[in-house]
């Protein structure tokens, strides 16, 4: 019974933990402009993150190696450093965006400018990273993040033309007024938001910290294969609600308040309150995850002692790097940069950084020296190879598309 | 690690995590120290740790700049080491039999010290075959001598950079098909060079001279 409870809890937190500021903003923007015609990218992205999270979780359970260990072992110190710089840049951009997201959500409730909230939120994030228990952090924030289900309820209450939404999703029906390059740009952004590399850094490092063994593989798989797709459904609901409310009016989504407005239209104040609780929990949880992930990747590249479970006196360099990241994030936000713009940048660059992270995972998942009898089967390899090609294409296309479409504004 | 003919230094040792007896992390294997035995054999004797070992592998230019910032510091040019004797197990991590405190030390420097090389020196060498020039891609260590110590037995030579085999030459059936095929095609011209008569390591000129009568095995065939 206890085991099933653990599985259920893991799945629930995976749902809440899947959605972060990148998913919230990008899905709402895309929903408003493209309806559900880009929904198939969310489906592909979610399947991709499942494939690689499962591999990295299996490697963590069998060989106790986290993802950035593999990056350096398989790519060497030079290409490994290139990946470290790229991934850290993306993860820190996301970290900045998440802290900004929490501050923006608090601004929605209090009407106090988000810059006033930034220092407080940064200190709170650091306190959680430094002091709070891993499981407590994941469970509380993950479960609170589940309130984002109001988006699904809102979509249902808005009584959309389900046939039309289904047709957009199934036929990838691009609105006539949009150029193909813009469509492709947002496709890459959505793909990057779903497959962002920090998710595997965090997932595998968490597995190593919680001392997963071969016995934990089924639980890990259930979390990934049920939790992430349900999280993807939340993403689609956000896009759907935005499509129904904003689509006909031709309004584009620029603020976090606009992301939540469809819920207010459908369910009133209570719905909006729940949505904001969901925003705060999801972005705060993701802020903790991205902050830790940046520290994990740096420490795993350098070989430092790392771990949220390890006392600061034992893992000094790791905890010092977390302090630096929090200060950096707060500093960048205090320059009055728009967190929403940081979010858009982070998902695009995450698409660029993907191949150098997912290639070593795929190689090691086939290495019997690490995994013994738990190496990839044909199915995992077929999917893994397919996604490897896909992430390479997305990473090559990301920057040119960003320039050509002027970040989707052209 | 039970593959026939020992293990590969670049694949199995370099960049692996070192873990101490209490499970605490010590560092990465940034380079490996190879000591010349009186009989000429190269024996791995230490794991080199720190920027002095890592930076030359990342970028010699960067390393040079870093040394020039404090030229008086010997530790910027001579890396510190962990003795290979304290290594308990080489698996997906390098497990030590002792605690980590104060473990990484500079090597003694004196006239009676043995000649010490590094794996990086060996991995950067050109290999002059009678008909072409290749590079050292990996170094195979095996237990061949009378004592229990592994020693450098053969060089894996070919085009490209060390470590780019990713272990695929060790088990030809390993997937995924796409990656295996690309790597096999890329390294199709690579060879095993067994150390022995006819193979001369020239540390001054950074090259390996191989006589024309030395047999060269195809690594894609060797392990089958």
The per-residue pLDDT for range A72-93, each reduced to its tens digit, is: 998 899 999 999 999 999 999 9
Contact of A73 with chain B, judged by CB distance below 8 Å, is answered with yes
pLDDT in tens, A136-145: 777 888 888 8
Which strand (E) or helix (H) includes residue B153?
Answer: strand B151-158
Q: CA B89, CA B12: separation in Å to the nearest integer? A: 12
The length of chain A is 410
State the residue range of the domain holding B61.
7-117
Could you tell me if residue B159 is inside a domain? yes
Across the interface, whether the CB atoms of B17 and A65 are under 8 A apart is answered yes
Across the interface, whether the CB atoms of B174 and A367 are under 8 A apart is answered yes
- Do B129 and B183 sit in the same domain of this protein? yes
| B-chain residue closest to A314, CA distance | B24
Across the interface, whether the CB atoms of A73 and B15 are under 8 A apart is answered yes
DSSP tag of B201: E
Which strand (E) or helix (H) includes residue B141?
Answer: strand B133-142
Among A63, A300, A382, select the one facing B92 at the smallest CB separation. Answer: A63
| The pLDDT value given to residue B218 | 83
User: How far is CA B201 from its chain centroid?
Assistant: 14
Query: How many CB contacts within 8 angstroms connect chain A with chain B?
Result: 82
- Do B36 and B85 sit in the same domain of this protein? yes
Q: Which of B77, B101, B117 is the last residue of a domain?
A: B117
Structural domains counted in chain B = 2
| The pLDDT value given to residue A363 | 93
| A-chain residue closest to B55, CA distance | A77
Q: CA B71, CA B37: separation in Å to the nearest integer? A: 31
Going by pLDDT thresholds of 50, 70 and 90, the confidence category of residue B48 is very high
State the average pLDDT over residues A169-181: 84
Across the interface, whether the CB atoms of A81 and B58 are under 8 A apart is answered yes
Contact of B171 with chain A, judged by CB distance below 8 Å, is answered with yes
| The pLDDT value given to residue A345 | 85
Going by pLDDT thresholds of 50, 70 and 90, the confidence category of residue A52 is very high
Q: CA B143, CA A409: separation in Å to the nearest integer? A: 64
Q: CA A123, CA A141: separation in Å to the nearest integer? A: 17
DSSP tag of A373: G
| The pLDDT value given to residue A71 | 92
Q: Is the pLDDT of residue B45 over 80?
A: yes
Contact of B57 with chain A, judged by CB distance below 8 Å, is answered with yes
What CATH number has the domain bearing residue B48? 2.30.30.240
Q: Which long-range contacts (CB under 8 A, 24 or more apart) does A163-169 make?
A: A165/A35, A165/A36, A165/A240, A165/A243, A165/A244, A168/A35, A168/A36, A168/A37, A168/A39, A168/A243, A169/A36, A169/A37, A169/A39, A169/A40
| The pLDDT value given to residue A12 | 73
Q: CA B93, CA B17: separation in Å to the nearest integer? A: 5
Among B57, B167, B178, select the one facing A78 at the smallest CB separation. Answer: B57
| The pLDDT value given to residue A5 | 74
Going by pLDDT thresholds of 50, 70 and 90, the confidence category of residue B168 is confident
| The pLDDT value given to residue A250 | 87
Percent of chain A with pLDDT over 70: 99
Contact of A138 with chain B, judged by CB distance below 8 Å, is answered with no
pLDDT in tens, A142-158: 888 889 999 999 999 99
Across the interface, whether the CB atoms of A362 and B176 are under 8 A apart is answered yes
State the average pLDDT over residues B31-40: 90
Could you tell me if residue B210 is inside a domain? yes
- Do B125 and B112 sit in the same domain of this protein? no
Contact of A305 with chain B, judged by CB distance below 8 Å, is answered with yes
Handedness of CA A35, A405, A253, A256 (dihedral sign): positive
With H, G, I as helix, E, B as strand and everything else as coil, classify residue A26.
helix
| The pLDDT value given to residue B222 | 54
Side-chain-side CA neighbours of B171 within 13 Å: the count stands at 17
Boundaries of every domain in chain A: 2-404
Contact of A378 with chain B, judged by CB distance below 8 Å, is answered with yes
Q: Is the pLDDT of residue B4 over 90?
A: no
- Do B55 and B108 sit in the same domain of this protein? yes
Could you tell me if residue B1 is inside a domain? no
Per the prediction, chain B carries an average pLDDT of 87
| A-chain residue closest to B169, CA distance | A367
Across the interface, whether the CB atoms of B17 and A69 are under 8 A apart is answered yes
Interface with B, mutate which of A366, A372, A378 (most B CBs under 10 A) = A366
With H, G, I as helix, E, B as strand and everything else as coil, classify residue B211.
coil
Q: Is the pLDDT of residue A237 over 70?
A: yes
Going by pLDDT thresholds of 50, 70 and 90, the confidence category of residue B5 is low
Q: Is the pLDDT of residue B166 over 90?
A: no
pLDDT in tens, A312-371: 889 999 999 999 999 999 999 999 999 888 888 888 888 888 898 999 999 999 998 899
- Do B11 and B113 sit in the same domain of this protein? yes
| The pLDDT value given to residue B2 | 34
- Do B82 and B36 sit in the same domain of this protein? yes
Instruction: Evaluate whether A181 touches A52 at the Cβ level (below 8 Å).
Output: no
| The pLDDT value given to residue A248 | 87
Contact of A303 with chain B, judged by CB distance below 8 Å, is answered with yes
Among A304, A369, A378, select the one facing B1 at the smallest CB separation. Answer: A369
Q: Look at residues A346, A359, A283 and name the one whose alpha carbon lies nearest to residue A100.
A: A283
Percent of chain A with pLDDT over 90: 64
Q: Which residues of A173-198 are buried (b: 16+ CB within 10 A; e: fewer)?
A: ebeeeeeeebbbbbbbbbbbbbbbbb
| The pLDDT value given to residue B3 | 37
Contact of A76 with chain B, judged by CB distance below 8 Å, is answered with yes
Instruction: Evaluate whether A62 touches A372 at the Cβ level (below 8 Å).
Output: yes
Contact of B99 with chain A, judged by CB distance below 8 Å, is answered with no
Q: Which residues in chain A touch residue B54, judged by CB atoms under 8 angstroms apart? A: 77
- Do B182 and B128 sit in the same domain of this protein? yes
Could you tell me if residue B2 is inside a domain? no
Q: Is the pLDDT of residue A135 over 80?
A: no
- Do B88 and B151 sit in the same domain of this protein? no
ipTM score of the complex?
0.90
Across the interface, whether the CB atoms of A370 and B92 are under 8 A apart is answered yes
- Do B110 and B17 sit in the same domain of this protein? yes
Across the interface, whether the CB atoms of A77 and B163 are under 8 A apart is answered no
pLDDT in tens, A191-229: 988 888 888 999 999 899 888 999 999 989 998 998 889
| The pLDDT value given to residue A134 | 72
Among B18, B58, B175, select the one facing A376 at the smallest CB separation. Answer: B175
| B-chain residue closest to A63, CA distance | B92
Residue B171 vs residue B79, higher pLDDT: B79
Contact of B1 with chain A, judged by CB distance below 8 Å, is answered with yes
| The pLDDT value given to residue B143 | 79
Across the interface, whether the CB atoms of A305 and B25 are under 8 A apart is answered yes
Going by pLDDT thresholds of 50, 70 and 90, the confidence category of residue B7 is confident
Instruction: Evaluate whether B47 touches B54 at the Cβ level (below 8 Å).
Output: no
- Do B98 and B151 sit in the same domain of this protein? no
- Do B92 and B127 sit in the same domain of this protein? no
Contact of B12 with chain A, judged by CB distance below 8 Å, is answered with yes
Cβ neighbours of residue A206 closer than 8 Å, sequence gap 6 or more: A134, A138
State the average pLDDT over residues A22-42: 91
Q: Is the pLDDT of residue B223 over 70?
A: no
Residue located via tokens 């993860």:
A91
Residue located via tokens 């007896």:
B21
Contact of B120 with chain A, judged by CB distance below 8 Å, is answered with no
- Do B108 and B93 sit in the same domain of this protein? yes
Q: Which residues in chain A touch residue B18, judged by CB atoms under 8 angstroms apart? A: 303
Contact of A312 with chain B, judged by CB distance below 8 Å, is answered with no
Distances (CA, A) of B197 to A308, B40, B94, B141: 54, 12, 33, 18
Domain A2-404 is found in CATH 3.30.9.10 = no
């Amino acid at each position: 019974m206890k085991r099933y409870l653990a599985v259920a809890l893991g799945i629930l937190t995976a749902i809440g933990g899947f959605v972060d500021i990148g998913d919230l903003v990008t899905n709402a923007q895309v929903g408003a402009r493209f309806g559900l015609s880009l929904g198939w990218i969310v489906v592909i992205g979610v399947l991709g993150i499942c494939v690689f999270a499962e591999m990295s979780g299996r490697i963590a359970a069998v060989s106790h190696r986290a993802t950035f260990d593999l990056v350096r072992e398989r790519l060497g110190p030079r290409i490994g450093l290139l990946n470290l710089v790229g991934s850290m840049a993306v993860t820190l951009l996301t970290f900045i965006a998440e802290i900004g997201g929490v501050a923006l959500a608090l601004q929605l409730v209090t009407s106090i400018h988000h810059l006033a909230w930034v220092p407080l939120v940064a200190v709170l994030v650091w306190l959680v990273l430094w002091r709070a228990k891993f499981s407590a952090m994941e469970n509380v924030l993950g479960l609170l993040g589940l309130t984002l289900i109001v988006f699904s309820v809102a979509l249902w209450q808005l009584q959309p033309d389900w046939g039309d939404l289904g047709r957009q999703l199934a036929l990838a029906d691009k609105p006539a007024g949009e150029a193909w390059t813009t469509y492709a740009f947002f496709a890459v952004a959505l793909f990057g938001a779903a497959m962002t590399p920090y998710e595997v850094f965090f997932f595998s490092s968490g597995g190593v910290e919680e001392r997963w063994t071969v016995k934990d593989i089924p639980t890990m798989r259930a979390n990934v294969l049920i939790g992430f797709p349900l999280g993807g459904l939340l993403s689609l609901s956000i896009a759907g609600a935005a499509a129904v409310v904003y689509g006909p009016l031709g309004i584009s989504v620029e603020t976090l308040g606009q992301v939540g407005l469809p819920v207010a239209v459908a369910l009133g104040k209570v719905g909006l309150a729940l949505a904001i609780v969901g925003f705060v929990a999801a972005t705060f949880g993701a802020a903790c995850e991205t902050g830790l992930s940046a520290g994990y990747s740096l420490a795993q590249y350098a070989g430092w002692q790392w771990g949220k479970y390890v006392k600061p006196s034992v893992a000094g360099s790791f905890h010092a790097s977390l302090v630096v990241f929090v200060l950096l994030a707060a500093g960048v936000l205090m320059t009055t940069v728009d967190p929403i713009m940081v979010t858009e940048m982070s998902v695009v660059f995450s698409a660029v950084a993907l191949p150098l992270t997912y290639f070593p995972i795929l190689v090691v998942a086939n290495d019997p020296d690490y995994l013994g009898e738990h190496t990839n089967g044909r199915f995992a390899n077929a999917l893994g190879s397919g996604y490897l090609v896909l992430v390479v294409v997305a990473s090559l296309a990301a920057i040119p598309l960003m320039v050509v479409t002027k970040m989707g504004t052209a | 690690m039970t593959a026939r003919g020992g293990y590969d230094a670049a694949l199995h040792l370099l960049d692996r995590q070192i873990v101490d007896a209490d499970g605490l992390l010590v560092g990465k294997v940034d380079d490996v120290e190879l000591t010349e035995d009186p009989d000429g054999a190269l024996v791995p004797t230490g794991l080199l740790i720190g920027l002095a070992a890592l930076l030359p592998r990342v970028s010699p230019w960067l390393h040079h700049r870093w040394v020039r910032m404090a030229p008086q510091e010997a530790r910027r040019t001579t890396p510190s080491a962990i003795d290979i004797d304290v290594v308990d197990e080489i698996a997906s991590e390098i497990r030590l039999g002792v605690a980590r405190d104060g473990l990484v030390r500079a090597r003694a420097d004196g006239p009676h010290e043995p000649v010490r090389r590094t794996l990086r020196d060996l991995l950067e060498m050109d290999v002059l075959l009678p008909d072409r020039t290749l590079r050292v891609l990996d170094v195979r260590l095996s237990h061949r001598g009378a004592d229990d110590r592994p020693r450098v037995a053969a060089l894996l030579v070919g085009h490209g950079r060390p470590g780019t085999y990713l272990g695929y030459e060790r088990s030809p059936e390993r997937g995924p098909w796409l990656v295996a095929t690309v790597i096999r095609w890329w390294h199709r011209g690579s060879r095993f060079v067994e150390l022995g008569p006819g193979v001369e390591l020239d540390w001054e000129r950074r090259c390996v001279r191989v006589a024309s009568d030395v047999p060269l095995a195809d690594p894609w065939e060797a392990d089958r």
